[in-house]
Amino acid sequence: MEINVDIGGTFTDCFATRSDGGVATAKALTTHHDLALGFMRAVEDIAGELDTDADALLARTEAIRYATTLGTNALIERSGPRLGLITTMGHADTVGIGRCRQWGDGLPVTMTRDLARAQRPEPLVPPEQIATVRERVTYTGEVLMPLSADEVRERVGDLVDLGVRGFVVCLLNAHVNPQHELLIRDVLEEEYPSSYLGRFPVILSHEVSKRSGEYVRSMTAIIDAYLHRFTADRLSALRDDLRVRGYRGELLLVHNTGGMGSLARTTPVRTVHAGPVAGLYGSRHLAASFGYDKLVTTDMGGTSFDVGVVVQGSVRFYQFNPVIDRWRVQVPMMDIKAIGAGGGSIARLDPVAGVAVGPQSAGSTPGPACYGQGGTEPTVTDANLVLGYLDPDGYHGGELPLDRRRAERAIERRIAKPLGIDVLDAARRIRQVVDERMGSEIFREVTLKGYDPREFTVFSFGGGGPLHACGYAGVLDAEQVVVPPHSSVFSASGAAGLELLRIYERSAWLTLFNPLTKQLFSDYESFNAIVDGFREQAVKDFVAEGFGSDELRTSLELDVRSTGQLNVITIASPVERIESDNDLAAVLKAYFAEYADRFSDLALTREVGVSIDAIRLRAWIPREPWELPERERVDRGVEDARRGARECWWQQGGLQATPVYDYAALGPGHELQGPAVVEAADTTILVEPGWNGWMDEYGFFTMRKEKQR
């Protein structure tokens, strides 16, 4: 038995796989004050489905994979520890100045255009808690000015007097030579041992990132320290609780790099946005297995809408300087775009746009008005209920009845009455706005990567995705939407296929071809020394986790750019060591091919210089992914899966009686013609007019747009 958990802003999703190939799923409302409570409720539901109790289930569970939002919540709430930053003299203002557009990082496009009101984010480390020391290391690692331990003691004492109990150290060029950062940690541990500092972090920037760029390296270390207490305390407490209840395996954390690692070997910054990454990797596996060449993944939950792209069975898009909250960092992260558009997104009146939806969310507490838990603001879920798409008695498997009257009152008070329209029309506008927002985000994400959205199949999952899939696919003019099995907990199921993965990277300045001298790169030893060092560290790390070196698999990636260009292109290196001119030619050929694929052959000039900016080694332990079982074939017709009908609103014809089908009763080959509603235990699929849907042997429900005559 293996348990996979994804904690979202509204629901905690749980997906369990058994050794015999069977699965069990559960959803529980997220308990933001203590995320472990929602997690354990979901586990208890899984146990109930398997006719056992939670402790017995945990005792025979081999692995728990956990995608957490602890870090995201801590940043939003600004509830981290009081940190002090120690940096090189003359660079105290680095994190305050940032990069020229730091004020725009993490803001919606509409806000970045409002220059008159543009403000930088409130710093995680205020200026008075930044101390500088006299030292200097060159970009080659040479020590020009040694660091005095006595000066370090004095600076640290000043910070402690200010109430600092966590320390971040980021010195100039420490990623090349960390000698001075290590000295500062030695002084800290000598002056303030663990009995004094407890578990407050001492984070060295070179241990978090070995890439150049003082601002982003500083912010990576600061965010890692800021989140450390939440990861260490809460997840350690969860692990201890699981131990008491019988679980004997590792608590594995999903990483935003697309892999996972043990709690002891996971830096907090790698857990941010981990849930959507699991869904993207689950989509990659299904795309490769079932022949989807171009896939856009869409995950609509209660709080956010996440978009990813899979091309030719591969997740090829990473962000190497992503933005976390309002700060740019140096963590290789899967490229997933998120907007505040979910079932709990709040609708409001906007003086310019009229009806606007999100990014504010009602979350799980109090939740949408129809939940009857104290929420008074109209949300997307309220609109769907009023329009007839949701069954008020069957929502969340019947465990969370919905109050239609509360939804109508909220929409009437906030939207309908101020606009002078009826409640049904107001609900229709709310849904239309959120569908257009999601469709526009998908269009932007796909086209900016150089693709035509009409060529993509839309993968729709999350609790709310299948309910809106035809709507946002219509904005794209996409012709096919696929709802995978277990779509409501699909991100959790994606975690079931993740591998233990670590990424090793560092900046490197190696000129592969000099256009002025016409010389090719010849210092193979410097390149190979970096790669060999990565491999040695990978073997050491994975052996420490109980794996043999023969189980390890690696691949090499290079950040390459042409002379005079600022942006780099990441390529998969065809060789892991350069030992001949043929190896070098293979690397250059791979770069030219990737450049031409992205920008066309017309933009490619092979005579320009080519240089490497960074080297990155991916190391992982392969594991067999979870395989979808075939759906049981049925002899009955599709009408036997029909539950009845209810009044639903449609653009073509307004309110009309619409057939409702039971997802569990649909078998391979069953076809439906829209409009129709398909209800599963934890999600609803809406087949809009002009669309047809059918079920295949693996439980994929595919909707295709009818051709216009």
Residue type for 272, please?
V
Q: What pLDDT sits at residue 51?
A: 85
Query: H or E segment at 242?
Result: helix 236-244
Highest mean pLDDT among 34-43, 167-176, 635-644: 167-176
> Can you give the pLDDT at residue 110?
63
Mapped onto helix, strand or coil, the DSSP state of residue 23 is strand
CATH architecture of 273-498: 2-Layer Sandwich (3.30)
Q: Please write the tens of the pLDDT for every residue from 54-98.
A: 888 888 888 888 887 666 666 766 777 889 999 999 999 998 888
**Average pLDDT value for residue range 405-415:** 94
Calculate the CA 407 to chain-centre distance: 31
Predicted pLDDT at 439: 92
- The helix-helix angle for 149-161 and 179-191 (nearest 10°) equals 60
Tens-place pLDDT, residues 536-550: 999 998 888 888 888
Residue 198 has pLDDT above 60, yes or no: no
Q: Which long-range contacts (CB under 8 A, 24 or more apart) does 258-261 make?
A: 258/315, 258/334, 258/498, 258/501, 259/498, 259/499, 259/500, 259/501, 259/502, 259/503, 259/620, 260/65, 260/495, 260/498, 260/499, 260/500, 260/501, 261/500, 261/501, 261/502
Q: The dihedral of CA 57, 58, 62, 66: what is its sign?
A: positive
Q: Helix, strand or coil for residue 584?
A: helix
Two tokens, residue 657: 């009686």
Q: Quick check: bond before 622 cis, omega within 30?
A: no
Buried b (16+ CB within 10 A) or exposed e, 580-617: eeebbeebbebbbebbeeeeeeeebeeeebbbbbbbbb
3-state secondary structure 273-307: CHHHHHHHHHHHHHHHHHCCCEEEEEEECCCCEEE
- Tokens 């008159």 -> residue: 116
From residue 654, alpha-carbon distances to 34, 171, 322, 388, 429 in Å are 44, 65, 44, 11, 13
Helices (H), 119-235: 149-161, 179-191, 194-197, 205-208, 214-230
Give the burial string for 546-575 (b: 16+ CB within 10 Å, else e): eeeeeebeeebbbbbbbeeeeebbbbebee
pLDDT at residue 193 above 70?
Answer: yes
Q: Is the pLDDT of residue 696 over 60?
A: yes
3-class state of residue 222 by DSSP: helix
What's the confidence (pLDDT) of residue 537? 93
pLDDT of 578 over the 80 cut: yes
Radius of gyration of the chain, Cα coordinates, nearest whole angstrom: 27
User: With contact defined as beta carbons under 8 Å apart, do 611 and 510 qualify?
Assistant: yes
Tell me what pLDDT residue 709 has: 43
Which residue in 566, 573, 556 sits closest to 512, CA to CA? 573
pLDDT tier for residue 425 given thresholds of 50, 70 and 90: very high
Highest mean pLDDT: which of 111-115, 182-186, 290-294? 182-186
Which pTM value belongs to this model?
0.79
Q: What is the DSSP letter of 632?
A: P
The per-residue DSSP string of 497-541 comes to T--EEEEEEEEEEEEEEETTTTEEP--HHHHHHHHHHHHHHHHHH
pLDDT digits (tens, 9 = 90+) for 483-496: 988 888 888 888 88
Domain chopping of the chain, boundaries = 2-74+233-271, 82-214, 273-498, 500-621, 642-705
Residue 464: pLDDT above 80?
yes
- Please, what is the Cα angle at 620 between 614 and 624, to 5 degrees? 145
What are the pLDDT digits (tens) for 561-575? 888 787 788 888 999
The per-residue pLDDT for range 240-279, each reduced to its tens digit, is 888 888 888 888 888 888 778 777 778 888 888 787 888 8
Instruction: Return d(Cα 305, Cα 467) in angstroms, integer.
Output: 13
Longest dimension (CA), the chain: 83
The class (CATH top level) of 500-621 is alpha beta
Q: Indicate if 500-621 has the same CATH topology as 2-74+233-271.
A: no
What pLDDT does residue 604 have?
A: 72
Q: Residue 169 — φ and ψ, nearest 5°?
A: -120, 120
**Edge-to-edge strand order for the sheet containing 676-679?**
642-650, 654-662, 676-679, 684-687
Pairing type for strands 260-262 and 251-254 reads antiparallel
Burial-class residue 338 by CB neighbours within 10 Å (0-12, 13-18, 19+): middle
Q: From CA 319, how far away is CA 257, in angstroms rounded? A: 10
pLDDT at 554 over 90: yes
Q: Is 29:42 a contact under the CB 8 Å cutoff?
A: no
- What CATH number has the domain spanning 2-74+233-271? 3.30.420.40
Contact 304, 360 (CB under 8 A): no
Contact criterion met (CB below 8 Å) for 508 and 578: no
Q: Which two tokens stand for residue 661?
A: 């089908």
Cβ-based neighbours of 188, under 8 Å, separated by 6 or more: 156, 167, 197, 202
DSSP state of 83: E
Asked if the model's pLDDT at residue 115 lies above 70, the reply is no
Q: Give CA torsion, residues 664, 439, 692, 494, to 10 deg.
A: -30
